[in-house]
Structure 1
């Protein structure tokens, strides 16, 4: 734990605004189960209505995006996305996909809030949240 008397003299402290960035994910021996990348991909599928457009928006290939979705679906045993009734309408999230995205996002935000609050206790500088 960082103590005040461990801090350098005020004149030697350089003003800074560090930003806390965290990357949390869940994985198994078979691969990544779910993380921020999957969350962003699901959000973009929902916004764009298309896996191809979602992949392009995130700067990834359709094949890479499809592989990530399929890996998670196989590991979880549930579909995350499904084709719309009209094939031309693209994809949308399944109820499970929507639920896991919402739950992971809420969990991540709570972990991030906790980490920021603990940083004030342990570190000699104030961190900002990554936006």
Structure 2
């Protein structure tokens, strides 16, 4: 297990929990995408702008994305070239969720920005409907 990736993930999770919008904006790569899928094969892709708009709206409303990140379990890490990945297990609404985060290496060393997030949930039909209603 690459502890530097675990530490970078903790930085990211803590920023989200604190609703630190500036830190999150710096952590997400401009080309960030989150690909979410479920057991029925539904898939949605979210961008950095979508994530940041959601974080800003929640913060403006005095809301947050959760009370704790204590349920996060880091299952595996690896690296390939200038990229590193980490698999994270969490529980959302009583159901397991698996995430794979792909980080880019910073040219000066260490892990830089979050480039991709692949999320597997039991059911994302609510998100698919929301995206369909928001489409122009």
Range into which the TM-score falls when normalised by the shorter chain: under 0.3
User: Higher strand fraction: Structure 1 or Structure 2?
Assistant: 2
User: Higher helix fraction: Structure 1 or Structure 2?
Assistant: 1
Larger Rg: 1
TM-score (norm 1): 0.27
